Amino acid sequence: MKKINTKKQPKKAKMFSNRKNIIISALALAVVTMAVGYAAFATTLNISSSATILGEWDVEITNIAFQGTGQAQDGSSTGYTSTSATFDCELYAPGDSCIYTITVSNTGSINAVLDSIVLSPSSTNSEYIDMEVTSKPNQNDVLAATNGTHTVVITSSYKELGDNVSAPVNTSRTLSSGTLIYKQANS
């Protein structure tokens, strides 16, 4: 028969077992404390936003004015809308001129810049009429918000006949292309 040892564990082993339980309990308490601490110091931040454009874009033609020299007269189709200007000049004798001043205004609240400008009288219509752009804004010129203006001046003149004995009858010349393109200016 075998002898069973019923001896009690020594005090050292019991102490080691108690220490082990204390360490496990301390670690478990530390984990619980860290979780509670994280929850106490963690914050959820919510960010919301909106953007609204409050500026107003309003660049348009606001006037066309006629000035004549000699017998020149303003024709019947002269006029403008917010995006186009039309004029026709009646010239009767050498030296007559029609001068049209077209005003572009910015009544909006956003600065505009002249992105491109093309004003070209045709070269094929009449050898007796000079048509030229005598004043205009330059590309990249800023058109200030709230009543800033640019003007374009176009002059049509009846050339001197020189040695020609017969005057031309019912000849004309046109502005073959005329566009101004504005865009928002960088702030």
Q: In the prediction, which pLDDT does 2 show?
A: 58
Whether 51 maps to a domain, the answer reads no
Strands 73-74 and 89-90: antiparallel
Q: In the prediction, which pLDDT does 54 show?
A: 85
Whether 127 maps to a domain, the answer reads yes
Q: In the prediction, which pLDDT does 122 show?
A: 63
Same domain, 16 and 77: no
Same domain, 97 and 28: no
- pLDDT score of 152 more than 90: yes
- pLDDT score of 159 more than 90: no
Same domain, 69 and 120: yes
Whether 143 maps to a domain, the answer reads yes
HEC readout, the chain: CCCCCCCCCCHHHHHHHHHHHHHHHHHHHHHHHHHHHHHHHCCCCCCCCCCCCCCCCCEEEEEEEEEEECCCEECCCCEECCCCEECCEECCCCCCEEEEEEEEEECCCCCEEEEEEEEEECCCCCCCEEEEEEECCCCCCEECCCCEEEEEEEEEEECCCCCCCCCCCCCCCCEEEEEEEEEECCC
- pLDDT score of 51 more than 70: yes
Same domain, 31 and 106: no
Q: How confident is the model at residue 176 (pLDDT cuts 50, 70, 90)?
A: low
Domain enclosing residue 68, as ranges: 59-184
pLDDT top residue among 65 and 121: 65
- pLDDT score of 46 more than 60: yes
pLDDT tens digits for range 96-116: 999 999 999 999 999 999 999
Q: Which amino acid is at 66?
A: F
Query: How many whole angstroms separate alpha carbon 124 and alpha carbon 119?
Result: 15
Whether 169 maps to a domain, the answer reads yes
Same domain, 176 and 92: yes
Same domain, 68 and 19: no
Same domain, 102 and 24: no
Q: In the prediction, which pLDDT does 186 show?
A: 85
Q: How confident is the model at residue 120 (pLDDT cuts 50, 70, 90)?
A: confident
